[in-house]
Amino acid sequence: MTPARPGPWARGLGLILVSVEADAVLGEPGLVRALQDGIDRQSDVALPPAPAGATWYAVREGGQTVAVALVQRDHPRVGVATLLAVAVDPARRGRATATKAILVAERKLVAEGYAPLLVRVPRTNGRGLYFMLRTGFVPVPPGDRPADPADVTWFARRVLD
């Protein structure tokens, strides 16, 4: 994981994304529950470790951390970034926070030279799969998907001709 940098990484739509250490995320019960919901809404599954080089971002609104995002740059190839997770504290859901966080992160990553943004969603996360479709992402065709041993669906932003 890249070290946390002071100050905001990105801001917009009423949100501020700040790079944080994993302990800051894993020490917040609401964020842990949100991440677990992304894997299995029925149980308290153990969270897998974040991949080396991935960066955690606290998503702040009104001065409070309401969500978290996990981004891996140069994955699955150089110049591409992957959103591995976006999770909103259950007490803070219903205000389009995840949609806004994805838009803000995507805009910042494009400004940094990372395009396209790919999103990886476990197939056990039906709400996450539907959410990505609602936010304008489409499944990556089988021949274009990154190699991945996990049971996941890869998404990319729809490109209009």
Q: What is the pLDDT of residues 53-64, one digit of tens each?
A: 999 999 999 999
Residue 156 is assigned to a structural domain of this protein:
no
Q: How many angstroms separate the most distant Cα atoms in the chain?
A: 44
Structure confidence at residue 41 (pLDDT): 79
Structural domain boundaries, residue 16 = 10-119
The reply to whether 126 falls in a domain is no
Check whether 120 has a pLDDT greater than 90: yes
Here the CATH number for the domain that contains residue 45 is: 3.40.630.30
* Domain-embedded: residue 32: yes
3 pLDDT tier (thresholds 50, 70, 90): very low
Checking if the pLDDT of 2 tops 50, the result is no
Is 5 a domain residue? no
pTM: 0.92
In a domain, 86, yes or no: yes
Q: Is residue 137 part of a domain?
A: no
**Is the predicted pLDDT of residue 4 greater than 60, yes or no?**
no
Q: Can you state the percent helix, strand and coil of the chain, rounding each to 5?
A: 25, 30, 40
Number of domains, the chain: 1
pLDDT (0 to 100) of residue 139: 96
| Pair type for strands 117-122 and 81-88 | parallel
Q: Is residue 129 part of a domain?
A: no
